[in-house]
């Protein structure tokens, strides 16, 4: 079964850091890109970060550029999102999501259950 499982969310103070993990199973991790998408309370979906070019190139939303870093470990099929200099507006449920097509930025056919991040003092 194709599955994504996020972890690492929690409560953090403004200016703090957090690292999210997304463990993938059931598909060729090197072939399909995994992205991060977030949803603030009561709001819509916002793409955060992802890969292209088979995982070589990383991309970020303007709102997180310079503060967040996406990476992946192909030895354990895990994608990470390192979040630094966190702000109240980063409070959201963070989902990881898999591209439906190989090697390209397409659509997200598999989503994790999400991990909640709260930035508050």
Partner 1 sequence: SYELTQPPSMSVSPGQTASITCSGYKLGDKYVCWYQQKPGQSPVLVIYQDVKRPPGIPERFSGSNSGKTATLTISGTQAMDEADYYCQAWDRSTAVFGGGTTLSVL
SS3 readout for the chain? CCEEEEECCEEECCCCCEEEEEEEECCCCCCCCEEEEEECCCCCEEEEEEEEHHHCEEEECCCCCCCEEEEEECCCCEEEEEECCCCHHHCEEEEEEEECCCCCCCCEEEECCCEEEEECC
- Residue reference for tokens 């966190």: 86
Minimal distance, residue 16 CB to partner 1, in Å:
26
Query: Which of 26, 75 has the CB closer to partner 1?
Result: 26
Query: Which of 3, 17 has the CB closer to partner 1?
Result: 3
Minimal distance, residue 39 CB to partner 1, in Å:
9
Minimal distance, residue 111 CB to partner 1, in Å:
4
Query: Which of 27, 47 has the CB closer to partner 1?
Result: 47
Query: Which of 68, 108 has the CB closer to partner 1?
Result: 108
Contact (Cβ atoms closer than 8 angstroms) between residue 50 and residue 97: no
Would you tell me which residues interact with partner 1 (CB under 8 A)?
Answer: 35, 37, 44-47, 50, 52, 57, 59-62, 95, 97, 100, 105-109, 111-114
Minimal distance, residue 15 CB to partner 1, in Å:
26
């Amino acid at each position: 079964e194709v599955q994504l499982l996020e972890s690492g969310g929690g409560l953090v103070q403004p200016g703090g850091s957090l690292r999210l993990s997304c463990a993938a199973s059931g598909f060729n991790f090197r072939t399909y890109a995994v992205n991060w998408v977030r949803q603030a309370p009561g709001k819509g979906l916002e793409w955060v970060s992802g890969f292209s070019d088979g995982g070589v190139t990383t991309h970020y939303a303007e709102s997180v550029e310079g503060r967040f870093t996406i990476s992946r470990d192909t030895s354990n099929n895990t994608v990470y999102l390192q979040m630094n200099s966190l702000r109240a507006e980063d409070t959201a449920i963070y989902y990881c999501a898999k591209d439906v097509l190989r090697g390209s930025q397409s659509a997200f056919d598999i989503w994790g259950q999400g991990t909640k991040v709260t930035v508050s003092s």
